Amino acid sequence: MLLDSILLWWHRGKTKSKMDRVFSRGEDPFSYSRCEYELSRLAAMEKAASQHRYGRALEIGCAEGLFTEKLAGLADAVTALDISPVALERGRRRLNGRPVQFIEGDIREWSPAGQTYDLIVLGDVLYYIDKPLVRASFERVFPRITSWLNPGGRLILAHGFAGEREGAHRRGFRERFQNLGLELTHEEIVAVSSGAVRCLLSVLESAPS
Ligand SMILES: C[S@@+](CC[C@H](N)C(=O)[O-])C[C@H]1O[C@@H](n2cnc3c(N)ncnc32)[C@H](O)[C@@H]1O
């Protein structure tokens, strides 16, 4: 247990420094607003989310708030969590005046203090924490996130992969949530002709009350 905590502390510092370094290179380091694949992935995520209107939404790993901006149009209140203060500062500027609360935190430790959500979105974030030395804290994330969903709430997962091995790994994220009782209501693979990376987009729902 003590070793787990020390390893998590170490990995959190490592991830935070890495992500701050990436975002310090300049705006949009992942080319979300330029790359055809990323634009298609974000459009598919928006389409999956926009079939409903939500009270409260949570985005985990919000980066600079590009998808958060879409969520702000779909939900009355949005909480956007990220480990990188550099990314969050850009998100705050982007969404200045909108009903979005940006929070710095590590999904393996942060908790919403009793708050629950109608929509939770995880896009390209879970593989950052699925690492051998910190696997126990990674596995604990799934029941924690599931417990934050309201009855009838939706969970959107969207993770890129290249090749069958990574594809199976991304399916494993969705399967863990299914094993916790969430029902898969939609799944698609988002791809563009130019490039080997594809995205597994899954929509899951908790049982209605
Ligand atoms: C590749 S970006 C994805 C951005 C956005 N979710 C999307 O789908 O386009 C991954 C983001 O996850 C954040 N992240 C990585 N590990 C995290 C953790 N343990 N807790 C919270 N955020 C984390 C990174 O700082 C980064 O902003």
Burial of 48 (0-12, 13-18, 19+ CB in 10 A): buried
What pLDDT was estimated at residue 68? 98
pLDDT of residue 117: 98
Q: Write the pLDDT tens digit of every residue in 17-46.
A: 999 999 999 999 999 999 999 999 999 999
| Averaged pLDDT for residues 67-72 | 97
Q: Average pLDDT of 94-98? A: 95
Res. 10: pLDDT tops 90: yes
Which stretch of DSSP H or E encloses residue 3?
Answer: helix 2-24
Percent of the chain exceeding pLDDT 70 equals 100
116 is in which domain, residue-wise? 2-205
- Under a CB-based contact definition with an 8 Å cutoff, are residues 201 and 158 in contact? yes
pLDDT band at 194 (very low <50, low <70, confident <90, very high): confident
Establish whether residue 149 lines the binding site of ligand 1, counting it when its CB lies within 6 angstroms of any ligand atom: no
Nearest CA to ligand 1 atom 13: 61
CB of residue 206 inside a 6 A radius of ligand 1:
no
Domain CATH code at residue 129: 3.40.50.150
Token pair listed for 70: 């879409």
Quick: pLDDT tens for 143-187.
999 999 999 999 999 999 999 999 999 999 999 999 999 999 999
Could you tell me the distance, in angstroms and rounded to a whole number, from the CA of residue 108 to the centre of ligand 1? 12
C-beta of 127 in contact with ligand 1 (< 6 A): no
Q: What is the pLDDT of residue 1?
A: 82
**Number of domain units in the chain:** 1
* Per-residue pLDDT band at 13 (split at 50, 70, 90): very high
- pLDDT at res. 195: 81
**pLDDT tops 90 at residue 193:** no
Q: How far apart are the first and last CA of the chain?
A: 36
Strands (E), the chain: 54-60, 75-82, 100-104, 117-123, 149-161, 183-190, 198-205
pLDDT exceeds 90 at position 119: yes
Q: What is the mean pLDDT of residues 66-88?
A: 98
Q: Which two tokens stand for residue 209?
A: 């009350």
Is the Cβ atom of 174 under 6 angstroms away from ligand 1?
no
| Residue 209 confidence (pLDDT) | 85
Name the residue at shortest CA distance from atom 7 of ligand 1. Answer: 123
pLDDT (0 to 100) of residue 168: 98
Q: Which residues contact 30 (CB under 8 A, 6 or more apart)?
A: 38, 63
Give the C-alpha separation, 17 to 152, whole Å: 37
Indicate whether 59 pLDDT > 90.
Answer: yes
Mutate to test the pocket of ligand 1, among 12, 71, 82 (most ligand atoms within 8 A of CB): 82
- Residue 209 Cα to ligand 1 middle (Å): 31
pLDDT above 90 (res 188): yes
What pTM value is reported for the model?
0.97
- According to the model, what pLDDT value does residue 85 have? 98
Question: What is the whole-number distance in angstroms between the Cα of residue 61 and the centre of ligand 1?
Answer: 3
Cβ 141 under 6 angstroms from ligand 1 = no
